[in-house]
Structure 1
Amino acid sequence: MPELYIGLMSGTSLDGVDAVLADLSGPRCRVLHHHAAAFAPGMRAELLALNASGPDELHRAALAANALARCYAQAVHALLAQAGCAPAAVRAIGAHGQTVRHRPGAFDGTGYTLQLNNPALLAELTGICVVADLRSRDLAAGGQGAPLVPAFHQQQFGQPGQDALVLNIGGIANLSVLRADGSVLGFDCGPGNALMDHWCQQHLGQAFDRDGAWAASGRVAPALLALLQAEPYLHQAPPKSTGRDLFHPGWLEQHLRALPPLPAADVQATLLELTASACAASATSYKNNSEFLAVCGGGAFNGQLMARLQALLPGLRVQPTDTLGLPALQVEAAAFAWLARQCLHGLPGNLPSATGAQGARVLGAIYPA
């Protein structure tokens, strides 16, 4: 008998919401339907602005959370209509929210991670139980609160006796190391698409560099690449996680000011190389006997980025997760459907080896229908 959950994901790229209807009754997640909804430009701009301090931000954040819940609800209704499924057939929605600050361990030893969301409103608008606030318990247990997807990657892609690597490239890139003995390591490698998207929007007026074509037209600037690669985060040992708090436009501009002016296309090429090199260095360090690197997230659709990853990792087959049975744009949303199930069943959702928490914890707060 199917056990249906909905997973919602709006990531660091701020491009919109991915929603999946998943059957979690078997040993692996089976996505039945997928719906993607882009953010309206004004909403995207406000969510991006709330990543930094600004006037009246508590008021603005509360209203943005309400707007996001309504956007989530619209995606849920569209998904259910597409599937011909009644809300009552769905056990729960896993709603991650929109991360606007991520400072684990900072300031007072605990720090915080902040996801805008209004799960109570989402439950009211959909008539479905909602599981939200999926990071704070891990943080309270001394962890980073991220990444949370490695546990799902192990469930979905792990094979006994085989090493494997799963790389998610959203706004930030994170790697899951699935070891032959069943142990798992996971961490954020560094920037993914966020800086490239920002530079493309600023200079071309486009939300992203389709297929990496603009980056491919430029040349990597060695001096800029060296400055960017000197960022201490890139050389830290895991567990570690990051976000726009570190890799933001001001961070890039600071390094650009230290150099003579560069052609915009060369900066884009250098940002792509930064992402590729950070991901490749992480994969090289932890690949063990892995034969492939499975890539998910929006970065899997950037042909130039995938080509650079393959060139930097000649000993691995770089391939989208589609080849393993789960399309690249569905993986993260499916992970949050799975985390909702873990919560309702009273099962841990984190991996201390990935987040650094003191132990396994049941994650999430439940908002009944």
Structure 2
Amino acid sequence: MKIAFDGKRFFNNSSGLGNYSRDLVRIMATYFPDNQYFILNNKKSERAKEIVELENVSFLETSKGKLSRQFKMGKDAQNADCDIFHGLSGELPLKWNEKPIKKIVTIHDLIFLRYPEYYSFFDRKIHFWKFKKATAQADLIISISEQTKADIIKFLKVPESKIRVVYQGCHHSFKETQSQDFLNSVQEKYKLPEKFILNVGTIEERKNLLNIVKAIQNTEIPLVVVGKKKEKYFKKVERFITKNKMRNQVFFLENVSMEELAAIYKLAEFFVYPSVFEGFGIPVIEALFSGTAVITSNMSSLPEAGGNDSLYINPNNFEDLKSKISFLWNNESERKRRVEKGLIYAQKFSDENIANELMKVYKETISIS
């Protein structure tokens, strides 16, 4: 089987959709090496060089021209005799030729429809048009969670029979054992407190960092935050920290490598992720694989990611969050119990399981007449 992937996010995004794209190609190439995998883009970067250089993975440069991703990429995949084209980030090319090829698109979330206040009018219109067009073209649609599947049915009016749920995994760094020396070196490099709680993700309103900061106010619990800053919301958080004299309690990190991030998860007492809404919630999976207990929201897909033994809160109630943080901070045995159960649950998102589920979808797509 020859499978083509839209490589824009694979090469250009350092997190989020980029991680999904790279992990998907890596695990498929590893567990189903007899297939040929083509990553299409207008240029190749050094990112994920180790994946592109696998024997069964090839970079395919798209034809030159304006809007080549929309108008040339699909035809290039057809001309390479690919059996399937998989759009990894909610889009498919607009133009195709007469050669047969099956089409799959992954939809990650429809947050722009559920929470339109977080997006500009123009972005909402463009996203809706692209997603609606892609789901209409696709032979099958991959949803990354049951929550997103329900949203696709509700907002895009797609029949349930056309959607398959295949969960995401996470980068292999979070599944590896790291030496104590490496953990110590990361703690020293970033001047991390001896004990701390952790939050990972873009610092934006939907991720709800401010409620964590409010929840640890008037405590001695340090918070480490890893993620890119959206300036408007970050300034709001920063003003609260400054006003309440918490600068020595909240630590912000950026540009952390995957290996270092995995170490920071392991060093944390537990992970706190009170996001208002997520298509899935990869940081929760990263924490579970790292052996770190989780507090997260009881909304959207997050209970799917966290399983029965994560601790759940109302993300809009910082008093609820405060009590749960205090409970876990003061109960080492409870943290350990949740870590052990969480590691078992996380195997649901192992590379092998995800590869097998994806292969089922590819085979089903090929069989559609």
Q: Hey, which of these two has a bigger chunk of helix by percent?
A: 2
Q: Which has the larger radius of gyration?
A: 2
Q: Which has the higher contact order (CA 8 A, sep 6+)?
A: 1
TM-score bracket, shorter-length normalisation:
0.3 to 0.5
